[in-house]
Amino acid sequence: MSISAGDKLPGATLVQFGENGPEQVALQDKLEGRKVVIFAVPGAFTPTCHSAHVPSFMRTKGQFVEKGVHEIICLSVNDPFVLKAWGESTGASEAGITMLGDPESAFTSAIGMDFTAPPAGLIARSKRYAMVVENGTVTLIHAESSPGECEISAGEGLLAAM
């Protein structure tokens, strides 16, 4: 069953590329006492993720801050090396978007947002979604019906619903 509004997110250890290389990040540390947007993508450098989803949150970051959002996190079932390169190539890192990896798809599976598409080479990946999380509880979630769509989960789509 997929995560829904009103659900508390499970504990998870994700990874990011820090000053000294890969670092573990306790998701709860990012959420406790904060309002956070998490948007997830099927894969770094994939067409819709690269040209639509990440740019939508770069464009709207200031509007989210005005609505009290402390941090915007891009989550992908990728390793921290790939996410570092992707954050740099898109400008997302410079724009202040936090790039976190769920390399084993543990968190993604735990919240029921995983999918597999062997013909595209996407195994145990994340569905495309965006959610607002307040103090660890999901207050709003928009999941796309297809990984190639980026409407309701785009920055503008999530903002319109807040």
Supply the pLDDT for residue 35: 98
User: For residue 113, what are its two tokens?
Assistant: 């947002």
Supply the pLDDT for residue 123: 82
Is residue 33 pLDDT above 80, yes or no? Answer: yes
Average pLDDT over residues 114-137: 91
Structural domain spans, the chain:
13-161
Model confidence, pTM = 0.95
Strand partners, 142: 130
Task: Tell me which of 9, 14, 44, 49 is the catalytic residue.
Answer: 49
Supply the pLDDT for residue 1: 67
Four-residue CA torsion sign, 124, 127, 130, 136 = negative
Average pLDDT over residues 106-117: 94
Is residue 49 flagged as an active site residue?
A: yes
Supply the pLDDT for residue 115: 87
Classify 88 as helix, strand or coil: helix
Domain at 13-161: CATH architecture:
3-Layer(aba) Sandwich (3.40)
Is residue 119 pLDDT above 90, yes or no? Answer: no
Query: By C-alpha distance, which of 151, 131, 150 is closest to 139?
Result: 131
pLDDT digit string (tens) for 36-93?
Answer: 999 999 999 998 999 999 999 999 999 999 999 999 999 999 999 999 999 999 999 9
What's CA 59's distance to the chain center, in Å?
16
Q: Could you tell me how many residues make up the chain?
A: 162
